[in-house]
Structure 1
Amino acid sequence: MKFTIQRDRFVESLQDVMKAVSSRTTIPILTGVKLLVTDEGVTLTGSDSDISIETIIPKIEDEHVIVEIERTGSIVLQARFFNDIIRKLPEDTVMIEVKDNLQTFIKSGNAEFSINGLDAEEYPRLPQIEEEEVYKLPTDLLKAMIRQTVFAVSTSETRPILTGVHWRIEKNELTCVATDSHRLAWRKAPLESDLNHSHSVVIPGKSLNELNKILDDSQDLIEMVLTQNQILFKTKNLLFFSRLLEGNYPDTSRLIPNESKTDVILNAKEFLQAIDRASLLAREGRNNVVKFSTIGNESVEISSDSPEIGRVVEIVQTQSITGEELKISFSGKYLMDALKAIDSAEIKISFTGAMRPFVLRSIDNDFILQLILPVRTF
């Protein structure tokens, strides 16, 4: 195997597959990156059994030669060392050659490395997925949906199913739900598909975070293929496989209140900044608790106190307040996460009582919803 490749393009693809490589694995060869060189180009693969990532670097892209191939072949190289070497090479191109004994030579400018490789035949095969049911949606929309839900997954392994995001496909509509049992994030969007099937899967939050880092913010369509225990995300030069979590996700629809006793409409940016300021002291206390009280029908009081530090009180003007007077306490961090996820100029918060979950919605659309459980302080 022998080829010469544009270093920047190689580094970019290598960074992507590195997201699937773990140093803690029971299968030693998975600490490596697999290189496969064919007449079409170079394919890089990284896997940790849960996530597998394959990137394809074509020989020619946009009429530019990216890879010059002298001999095809394959090799597995220690990921951490190989990645560091390629990143720090001096020239714009790099030549890689594998000799008969798996000895791999890397040359760029005056720098030469020789590292030991492993037999690519011993590298586990990627899942073979029948692409019978393919769903499509714009890449930037998928990224937004991940960002607006994945932060609410549980970080505790006591209920493993809650460490994932529940995806439900029904009538060509995708609904994503994440909850850690203290808050809930909900988002839906239409899919491009001729299928009229239903699916219910739970994707690990870690997988979705890694996918989000790799994807470009473009309107190109990304393909999604589902099986019983795997999901594949596919773009022009990328395959991203993730295992699915086993088990039944709890029915979260009954958590979302259908009615409210108090509705508050606010400027989201001003409200976020006020909560951020109140959280400066709340962080020092227990649970980052911020208190929220309605004042008449035009403003709310936001406050927090820390016995060691002091107290903060701020009055925030509202667009409107309807319904009963309200005093409620909640986690400042959870509310800030929710406001950032909604990403709307104006938001409506619907309360059903001081100790009941409350809901944040965008005034502009009904595709997104955030729910937070209050904290007992009053």
Structure 2
Amino acid sequence: MNISIDREALAKSVQDVMKAVSTRTTIPILTGIKLTATASGVTLTGSDSDISIESFIPLEKEGKLLVDVKRPGSIVLQARFFSEIVKKLPQQTVEIETEDNFLTIIRSGHSEFRLNGLNADEYPRLPQIEEENVFQIPADLLKTVIRQTVFAVSTSETRPILTGVNWKVEHGELVCTATDSHRLAMRKVKIESENEVSYNVVIPGKSLNELSKILDDGNHPVDIVMTANQVLFKAEHLLFFSRLLDGNYPETARLIPTESKTTMIVNTKEFLQAIDRASLLAREGRNNVVKLTTLPGGMLEISSISPEIGKVTEQLQTESLEGEELNISFSAKYMMDALRALDGTDIQISFTGAMRPFLLRPLHTDSMLQLILPVRTY
């Protein structure tokens, strides 16, 4: 292989595929990045066998020459060293040439590195996915959907299925649900697909977090292809594969209360800031608990007590408050996570009693909800 390549384009691709490279792997070659040069451009691949990312650099883009392939070929280079080298090379153009025994020479300006490469034929092949059932979501919407759900996945491996987000596709709608059994986040979006597709899969939260980091913010479409055990996200010049989690996701629809005894509408930002202030003392106490009490005249009291440190109380005017009086305690962290995920200046919170789960929703849409279980305080 012998190529010269634009350093910025190379650095961007290296940064993207590095998100899939693990230092802790039982397959030594997976600590490397695979480079493949063909007549049409250069492909970089990184994988930890759960996630695989492939980034393609075309010969030219928008009239700018990015790659000159003098001799096609492929090589695997140690990811950690290669990524650091690329970042720090002095000139805009990088030459990469492989010699006998996979020795690889990287030149830029007056700088020359010689790296011991590995045989690219030994690098595991990426899954071959039949692209029969494809649906599309704009990249910026996909990032929003991930942001509004993935934070609620479980971090505990006791129930591995809960470490992922449940993606259900039917009737032209995608419903994404995440829960750690103490809270739940759900988001619905309309999707475009060629034919009537339906799926019910669980994508690891870790995969979705990494995908979100490398997607651009534009509204260009991302193709999504599902199979029995893999999902593929295809953006421009980027393929992102993730394995799916095995097992059945719990039926969450029955957890969502259908009636409420107390309903309030609050300004999202004011409410979030009040919870944030109350949590300053709650953090020191046990598991960050804040108490909410309804008062006459549509007022709320938000308070927190930490016996060793002190007490905080704050009153807040709601936009509206209807139903029974309420005295409820909950995790400040869960409440703040939920509020940050919701769009809109005002939100509606519906309670069905002090010990029942309660719902947070933006006004005028049912495309999104957050559910939180209260905390018992004795």
Is the Cα–Cα contact under 8 Å of residues 134 and 194 in structure 2 kept in the other structure? no
Q: Following the alignment from structure 1 to structure 2, what is the Cα–Cα distance between the partners of residues 335 and 344?
A: 16
Q: Give matches, 1:171-320, under 5 Å.
A: 171-320=171-320
Structure 1 gaps, min length 5: none
The alpha-carbon deviation at position 277 of structure 1 amounts to: 0.3
Moved more, 331-340 or 358-367: 358-367
Q: Following the alignment from structure 2 to structure 1, what is the Cα–Cα distance between the partners of residues 261 and 6?
A: 62
Is the Cα–Cα contact under 8 Å of residues 297 and 320 in structure 1 kept in the other structure? no
Q: Following the alignment from structure 1 to structure 2, what is the Cα–Cα distance between the partners of residues 113 and 198?
A: 51
Measured against aligned partners, the alpha-carbon deviations of 1:77-129 in whole angstroms (never above 9, x if no partner) come to 00001101111111111111101221000111111100100000000000000
Q: Percent identity?
A: 66
Is the Cα–Cα contact under 8 Å of residues 344 and 364 in structure 1 kept in the other structure? no
The alpha-carbon deviation at position 195 of structure 1 amounts to: 1.7
TM-score w.r.t. the length of structure 2 is 0.99
CA RMSD, 1 decimal: 0.7
The alpha-carbon deviation at position 297 of structure 1 amounts to: 4.0
Measured against aligned partners, the alpha-carbon deviations of 1:239-287 in whole angstroms (never above 9, x if no partner) come to 0000000000000000000000000100000000000000000001001
Residue 64 of structure 1 corresponds to which residue in structure 2? 64
Instruction: Give the paired residue count.
Output: 378
Measured against aligned partners, the alpha-carbon deviations of 1:326-378 in whole angstroms (never above 9, x if no partner) come to 00000000000000000210000000000000000001421100000000116
Residue 88 of structure 1 corresponds to which residue in structure 2? 88
The runs of 4+ residues in structure 1 deviating greater than 3 Å are none
Residue 10 of structure 1 corresponds to which residue in structure 2? 10
Residue 145 of structure 1 corresponds to which residue in structure 2? 145
Q: In structure 2, the residue corresponding to 1:148 is in which secondary structure?
A: helix
Residue 353 of structure 2 corresponds to which residue in structure 1? 353
1:160 aligns with 2:160: yes
The alpha-carbon deviation at position 194 of structure 1 amounts to: 2.8
Measured against aligned partners, the alpha-carbon deviations of 1:147-167 in whole angstroms (never above 9, x if no partner) come to 000000000000000000000
Is the Cα–Cα contact under 8 Å of residues 262 and 326 in structure 1 kept in the other structure? yes
TM-score w.r.t. the length of structure 1 is 0.99
1:26 aligns with 2:23: no
Structure 2 gaps, min length 5: none
Residue 52 of structure 1 corresponds to which residue in structure 2? 52
Is the Cα–Cα contact under 8 Å of residues 6 and 94 in structure 1 kept in the other structure? yes
Residue 43 of structure 2 corresponds to which residue in structure 1? 43
Q: In structure 1, the residue corresponding to 2:192 is in which secondary structure?
A: coil
Q: Following the alignment from structure 1 to structure 2, what is the Cα–Cα distance between the partners of residues 142 and 341?
A: 14
